[in-house]
């Protein structure tokens, strides 16, 4: 999950694996049911506020075991 501090609501969210946008993930919380080894990778979230200000989260490495 991500938490946006500041800016102007509402916020929009885009989750990414590497540089690819993940379809259907548009909330502050990312959920992946039945994760498989191919889901491992580096994930981030891009949040945009109502004024168009864009903030990208830090990258997070996800491993599947």
pLDDT in tens, 2-18: 999 999 999 999 999 99
3-state SS, residue 53: coil
Residue 33 located in a structural domain: yes
Tens digit of each residue's pLDDT (9 = 90 or more) over 13-53 = 999 999 999 999 999 999 998 999 999 999 999 999 999 99
Do the domain assignments include residue 46?
yes
Domain-embedded: residue 28: yes
State pTM to two decimals: 0.90
Q: Look at residue 20 in the predicted model and tell me its pLDDT.
A: 98
Report the 10 Å Cβ neighbour count for 30: 19
Does 2 map to a domain?
no
Instruction: Quote the pLDDT of residue 31.
Output: 93
Q: Is residue 34 part of a domain?
A: yes
Which residue is associated with the tokens 């500041």?
6
Structural domain includes residue 3? no
Give the C-alpha separation, 47 to 33, whole Å.
Answer: 22
Domain hosting residue 37, numbered range: 12-62
- Residue 57's pLDDT band (cuts 50, 70, 90): very high
Question: How many domains are contained in the chain?
Answer: 1
Residue 47 lies in a domain: yes
């Amino acid at each position: 999950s991500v938490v946006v501090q500041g800016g102007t609501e509402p916020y929009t969210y885009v989750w990414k694996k590497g540089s690819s946008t993940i379809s259907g993930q548009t909330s502050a919380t990312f959920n992946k049911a039945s994760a498989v080894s191919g889901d491992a990778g580096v994930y981030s979230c891009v949040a945009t506020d109502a004024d168009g200000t864009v903030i990208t989260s830090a990258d997070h490495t996800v491993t599947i075991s």
